[in-house]
Amino acid sequence: MSTTKDFIIEQLKSEISGYKAEISEKSVGKVLKVSDGIALVSGLAEAMMSEILTFKTEKGEVAGVALNLEENQVGAIILGDCTTIKEGDEVQATKRILEVPVGEAMIGRVVNPLGEPMDGKGKIETTKFYPIEKIAPGVITRASVKEPVQTGIKAIDAMIPIGRGQRELIIGDRQLGKTAIAIDTIINQKGQNMKCIYVAIGQKESKIANIVAKLTEAGAMEYTTVVLAGASTSASLLYIAPYAGCAMAEYFCDKGEDVLVVYDDLSKHAVSYREISLLLRRPPGREAYPGDVFYLHSRLLERACKLNKDFGGGSITALPIIETQAGDLSAYIPTNVISITDGQIFLEPDLFYKGNRPAVNAGLSVSRVGSSAQIKAMKKVAGKMRLEAAQYRELAAFAQFGSDLDVDTKKKLDRGQRLYEIFKQDQYQPLSVEKQVLAYYALINGFMDNVPVEKVREFEAGLYKYADLNDAVLKQIVTKKEIDAEIEEMLKKLIDDYKATVDYLIK
Amino acid sequence: MKISAQQYAKSLYDSVIDKNEKEVKAVLKNFVALLGRNRELNRADEIMAIFVESWNKAHGELSAELISARELGKVTRDMVVSYLQEKTGAKTVTLDETVDQKLIGGFVLKYDSKILDASLKTSLDELKNKISN
């Protein structure tokens, strides 16, 4: 016992003697006015843009960010409890531009935009801090997008494929499954060598609790970080949340790894920025949004990129989510973000209520990277699917005249119906790419033409189970990533064998 | 058109610099009359404060506040003055000194909108924070 006591005393003595007091000059100012999460501060002549300021209140220190640098005063947003700040309180400049802790310790945790833990699992030990605002990589440092992000959602992987380094917008009205697409994508990244970051901006905390529970159940929290700025947080934290998530992603990207970032959703982000700008007395523009609301999103999404080998070869894929009102794609914020991203996944209420879930509109959805982000096997079977799906939609109006149509049209209608049946998928059931290739191969080569439309999903589920039992074909597709003559033979045999076991085929 | 306190102070400064006493008196009479016409006499304090600041800056005069735990000797006072002169390039420094025993030791120096906290109390607080984390 005495050794531990002596050891402690020795340590304490050496700690004290080795301690060097850091005395340096600090810039100070005084609070002139505090209201609604904004503080006006006098003094602080050398404040920098986006510099962290410390408000010294009776109950401790509160952090703030300088956003308005005027001749006589500095306008700052308060990142914390603004009720403790009084007029006349001292404000110190920290000479640090707004930054968040980043690192491996963030994986598996739920944090707030300042990096503080929200999941009750203890302190987060990090050594590195990344600035929240960063200039996006330039043209020379980028490489073209070639590798796929397998979302596991059939409609997306076949018709609107996403690549690593792409920005794909998920847009639609409320309650159509936008977050569901993002969560299924995250769950499907297991074993795909991707880190995931889910940024929840202004979402209900109960919804996020459900999502975290689902992700933990699926084992996705082993590679996912959740950045949470819930509905009741102040506008300042909502404003910096997506940038904080991007900074955390950049840490992994700089190490050469691939990251998927989901921003759910950017409409609420724009609203919180509008709130801050109006309180800072910046002039309102269209729909009362400030003039730089385009720049707000463009500088965030431009940081998602694929870097070339000289810079590590890492990538950040962004899936921003925008909520439209009554399907209005021509509103201000949706048109802004559509012009920034490399494509959009458009969800429609008609399809949703008809039972086609995920309710992806194949005609209006697009991926500007397209088939360069698909493995060769998928490209071969799914190449024409988007066109066929869109054409079927146009022809579907004639479906009521079933008997009055020519043979070709009837064939197209039959094929289209089965196509739409195949695209239906349950939530939290992402499908691996080799099974998708199998199903599409069966469809486009006419193997499903004699399966009744209402039995297609049952047929498909049975086909996957059968393929799992005789999994030589699936393994081949995974290794070779393309369909050569040998694999094609194996596929044909597998499907024929399975069809022999099924009894509901149309004669 | 609203005229800011800064503009009043600057124009006052420009009109009184390098003038003799008689001219300054005349200028000041006109200036007060101007303020009265514009109904801005209540901002006189504000304008005077900015005038003093710009005068000090232009003439290299600096006023600073020094709070120390004990009365400072001449040597220490001269060191502080020369530190300020080096840092700000001011020619004359006026030190407003107070003694506050709560600092335990050392001093706190405030000037412009900067603060230099070299008090023993703050160092001990920082040491406490460092060890307890």
pLDDT per position as a tens digit, A290-347: 999 999 999 999 999 999 999 999 999 999 999 999 999 999 999 999 999 999 999 9
Res A294: pLDDT: 97
CB-CB under 8 Å, A28 with B131: no
Higher confidence at residue B100 or residue A86? A86
The percent of residues above 70 in pLDDT, for chain B, comes to 98
CB A106 within 8 Å of CB A129: no
Is residue A112 helix, strand or coil? coil
- Calpha distance A216→B122 (Å, rounded): 45
- Average pLDDT along chain A: 92
- Calpha distance B77→B59 (Å, rounded): 22
- Say which amino acid occupies A1: M
Structure tokens at A326: 């009554």
The percent of residues above 90 in pLDDT, for chain A, comes to 77
Using a CB-CB cut-off of 8 Å, the residues of chain B touching A53 are: none
The shortest CB-CB distance from B115 to any of A16, A22, A26 is to A26
- β-strand partners of A124: none
The shortest CB-CB distance from B114 to any of A21, A25, A72 is to A25
- Calpha distance B65→B67 (Å, rounded): 7
CB-CB under 8 Å, A43 with B123: no
- Calpha distance A431→A155 (Å, rounded): 11
What value of ipTM does the predicted structure carry? 0.70
Residue whose structure tokens are 């502080």: B80
DSSP states of A119-160: SSS------EEEES--PPP-TTTB----SEE--S-HHHHHHS
CB-CB under 8 Å, B117 with A26: yes
Q: Which of B111, B113, B125 to mutate to test the interface with A (most CBs of A within 10 A)?
A: B113
Nearest Cα residue in chain B from A25: B116
CB-CB under 8 Å, B126 with A26: no
**pTM of the entire structure?**
0.87
The shortest CB-CB distance from A44 to any of B113, B118, B130 is to B113
- β-strand partners of A171: A322, A346
Give residues with Cβ within 8 angstroms of A12, minimum separation 6: B131
- Calpha distance B121→B118 (Å, rounded): 9
pLDDT per position as a tens digit, A377-416: 999 999 888 888 888 888 887 666 656 778 888 888 889 9
Q: Are strands B114-119 and A25-35 parallel, antiparallel or unpaired?
A: antiparallel
Structure tokens at B36: 């009265």
Residues 109-128 of chain B whose Cβ lies under 8 A from any Cβ of chain A: 110, 112-118, 123, 126-127
* Angstrom distances, CA of residue A405 to CA of A392, A399, A412, A449: 14, 9, 11, 18
Q: Specify the DSSP class assigned to residue B70.
A: S
The shortest CB-CB distance from B114 to any of A23, A27, A71 is to A27
Q: Specify the DSSP class assigned to residue A32.
A: E
A70 touches chain B (CB under 8 A): no
DSSP states of A421-464: HHH---TT----HHHHHHHHHHHHTTTTTTS-GGGHHHHHHHHH
